[in-house]
Amino acid sequence: MRLKLLIVDDSMVIRNRIARLCLDMRLPSLEIVGLAGDGRQAVDLAERFRPDLVTMDLTMPHMDGEACIAHIAARLPETRILVVSALSDKATALRALKKGAQGFLHKPFSDAALIEALLELIR
């Protein structure tokens, strides 16, 4: 069965890069179900598609990533969330994990680091 992936980032370049890496690396079990550019859109798409995995930026307009994580974790407890963020301080990472994220990847990230982090969530 293929796992549904939702990609959330306010940068189109980063959304495209994550999507392309997932396709290029032929992560066989992933199907990209949506790309969201802000927090509200992320919540809408998450409720519509009920993704198994989400890559989540934190600094976004309208609704930030932490609020999104809390919302998705409450409504879709089976969804696993990988934070992909530039915010590099430890307190932010711990808060995101406490709100329901399962992994944290710092930007800028290498192709290998992203794939490894996604595989870690799939396992």
Partner 1 sequence: MTAPLTRKKPLQPEEVEVFAETIGHYFAHTTGEKARVRTAYLLETGSPPQDDFNGMILVRGSYQGSLCFAAPRGLLTHVLMRMGEQEYTDADHLDLVGEIANTLAGRARRAFGEGLEISPPHTFTRAGRALPTLADSTPLIIPFTWQSYAAVLAVHLDVLT
For position 16 contacting partner 1 by CB under 8 A, the verdict is yes
Q: How is the chain classified by DSSP, letter by letter?
A: -PEEEEEE-S-HHHHHHHHHHHHHTT-TTEEEEEEESSHHHHHHHHHHH--SEEEE-SS-SSS-HHHHHHHHHHH-TT-EEEEEES---HHHHHHHHHHT--EEEESS--HHHHHHHHHHHH-
d(CA 7, CA 63): 15
Range in contact with partner 1 (rule: CB under 8 A) among 12-20, 25-33, 41-49, 69-77:
12-20
For position 98 contacting partner 1 by CB under 8 A, the verdict is no
Range in contact with partner 1 (rule: CB under 8 A) among 25-33, 46-54, 71-79, 80-88:
80-88
For position 10 contacting partner 1 by CB under 8 A, the verdict is yes
Range in contact with partner 1 (rule: CB under 8 A) among 25-33, 43-51, 53-61, 96-104:
53-61
For position 91 contacting partner 1 by CB under 8 A, the verdict is yes
For position 86 contacting partner 1 by CB under 8 A, the verdict is yes
Q: Which residues make up the interface to partner 1 (CB under 8 A)? A: 10-14, 16-17, 20, 24, 59-61, 85-89, 91-92, 106-110
